[in-house]
Amino acid sequence: MILDSLDQCDRYRGLHPGFAEAFAFAASHDLGSLAPGRHVIDGERLYLSIDHIEGRGRAGARLESHRRYIDIQITIDGQEEIGWRPLGECRAPVAAFDEYRDIRFYDDAPESWVAVPPGKFAIFFPGDAHAPLAGAGLLKKAIFKIAVTDHGT
């Protein structure tokens, strides 16, 4: 997991080919004006999901993990908080991994919580279980989904 300010995103562009493209998109678009839902940037290799939803609080946020995608979660508006736990320490999966949605949920508790206010971002890799939307009130977020490997698209 990585937590940082958007003005420091250049540090991370070289970690994965899709990071530079995602951060360039974020810099050249008004993320706050995009409608909720999925916005395709580069097919299945890179897309953006905009959430505009009520925070669930810590008690309502569930740990989740992904295999095919890395998340870059950027808070646009509101007070977001995200729980984190190493995936290897999760012992209570709720169900089998959903291949279609690339997600698995867990009943494990996060090991730690991080505030992700507007202007900050968090990156979650496949080894990071994370519990998003633990903030309070109305939240608007941009979630870039970056394929771990090229899907041939």
Q: What's the CATH code of the domain at 36?
A: 2.60.120.370
Residue 152 lies in a domain: no
The pLDDT tens digits for 75-110 are 999 999 999 999 999 999 999 999 999 999 999 999
pTM (two decimals): 0.95
Residue 17 lies in a domain: yes
Count of structural domains, the chain: 1
The pLDDT tens digits for 41-76 are 999 999 999 999 999 999 999 999 999 999 999 999
Nearest to 86 by CA among 50, 53, 116, 126: 126
Q: Which domain holds residue 99?
A: 2-147
Residue 153 lies in a domain: no
Angle, alpha carbons 143-149-153 (nearest 5°): 85
